[in-house]
Structure 1
Amino acid sequence: MSVCTLLMFCVLPALVGGRASIDSEGTAFARQPGAVMARVGDPVVLNCRILRLGDRVVSWVRSRDLQILTHAGAVFTADARVTVTEAPWETDDGLDPEEWGGVVHLLRIDKVRLSDAGRYECQVNTEPKLSAFFNLTVIEDALPTVSVRMLGATAAAVEGGAVRLTCEARYDGAAAAVDALPALRVSWDRDGEVLDPQGSRGGVSLDTERWPGRTVSRLTLARVSSGDAGRYTCRVADVTASRDVRVTPMQPEYSDIDEELLESMQRDQAAARTGAAARSMPPAALLSALTALAAVFLT
């Protein structure tokens, strides 16, 4: 995966009108990233994914000057660096491509310049018009790389308790352009299965802090059971870091004290009570008791 593609998947998805922008006849923009970064001189591609396009027409417009770049597959600018293509697109969420009519319109700009930065609009000629927006950032430095690592010590928990995992994601080599970089999106899974705070397990919470060029995500599991043990992975696109979580069974109270020790403790307590009772007797009563006891042994 190229660095430019990686940066597209690092950002929070930009949705038009919620999950998708849908008109009365069902045309919709699919879930897709809305921020793209490229380096001066490199090519950049903006991908506009559309469901149920039918016979409708797609246009690309540069928002800065409202320049129509392409319309219905034809290029409307004299800039030879700009091209457009259309291709079938199978959704990544299990939708039937024939039923949903998924297509992707790709706007490509070769040898990108600093002046190409800005907002681009993918339009569909429905009534009313549908639009999806893409923000292109162009930098002169080398594109940054993304690194991900787990913070803190080895994770271990006792059944019924809680465990917290902390993951840091950051851009490396991007000091000059860190403020222009899109925010990093961290996701979590356990043994390959995505963790959902709204899932049936319950007791799963995510806390995220963001700074320019850096994100820290904390995953907390409450009421841990043996089924929560496994390898936990945090990821940004295809960059990952993992940590194994061990769960220790809860020990019953006094389970580490054997029965013989308990019996010994009980005998010592009984002897202590007997001695205390004897010490509390008046002298005359104690002498009488001893005389009676001696008489028993002498008869």
Structure 2
Amino acid sequence: MPTYFDFDVPRNLTVTVGQTGFLHCRVEGLGDKDVSWIRKRDLHILTVGVSTYTSDQRFQVIRAENSPNWTLQIKYPQPRDSGVYECQVNSEPKMSLSYFFNVVELKANISGTPDLYVKSGSDINLTCRIPQGPHELGNIFWYKGNEIIDTAVNQNELDSNRGITVENDWLDGLTSRLKIRRASSNDTGNYTCVPTIAKSASVYVHVIIGEHPAAMQHNSAGSNSRTRSGSQVGILLLGCLQLILVQFKWSIYFHRQTCEGPDYR
């Protein structure tokens, strides 16, 4: 029976960082030949048969007894593991089949700037989003500081005019919205959205009483403008004083020339 690859298997796999990847190679009519897995970028032999030929123990072949399936398992993959892998058979001539393995790092993103200023009594609205990934995106949990925000607990503790709600939707990715009604100074702090399969994101919320920081920045700008104006007036006065001193010196000189006459010595 001739040896051949079964091409009816996925050969383009995308996983997220930390998600175990499986590359399935099915060889029919293998006989007494061996199957090897090779990393194409450096031609490093990862496995031969069911034996691992690399010190990186994240790589391993999974094969049931007498099965034509030789599956390369890659644990805890990182972006550096992305690339082409080859399933090879030591036939004559050599047979090989390429697989494309892609490792992506999903990151959560909170809309807006790293610092959010909210007036006391207003609502805090935070939106955290993860773009569409290669598989189910899991869930997002919200933290204030090191404490998880449990909406059920918070609803019981707050009065009827306040509340904390979290809404998730999985339309075109995963989006989570945290809303805190009628914010008070106690709501100031660092808020973090923590996804189950992506890197977290944070924002610092400042609940302020009175003037908004934008107004303070405006006043600061006015103060700087007044400072610049004062500096310009000071330079003008100094110039006038220097001119008066020069005129005074020339006045003394001409007075001496008139009273004493020219000196021809």
Relative to the length of structure 2, the TM-score reads 0.40
Relative to the length of structure 1, the TM-score reads 0.36
